[in-house]
Amino acid sequence: MPEDIEWTAPEGSWASSAARRRNMQAIRSRDTKPEQLIRRLVHAQGLRYRLHARPLPGLRRTADLVFRPVKVAVFIDGCYWHGCPEHYVSPRTNPGYWSDKVARNMARDRDTDERLIEAGWLVLRFWEHESPDSCALSINTAVRDRRAELSIGGTPRSRD
pLDDT, tens only, 40-88: 999 999 999 999 999 999 999 999 999 999 999 999 999 988 999 998 8
Rounded to whole angstroms, the Cα distance separating 158 from 16 reads 44
Rounded to whole angstroms, the Cα distance separating 2 from 158 reads 55
Rounded to whole angstroms, the Cα distance separating 142 from 72 reads 8
Domains and CATH numbers, the chain: 30-152 (3.40.960.10)
Q: Name which residue leads in pLDDT, 144 or 152.
A: 144
Task: Check residue 1 and give its pLDDT.
Answer: 44
pLDDT, tens only, 7-37: 444 555 555 566 655 665 556 567 789 999 9
Mean local confidence (pLDDT), 91-113: 91
Per-residue pLDDT band for 2 (boundaries 50, 70, 90) equals very low
pTM over 0.85: no
SS3 annotation, 18-58: HHHHHHHHCCCCCCCHHHHHHHHHHHHCCCCCEEEECCCCC
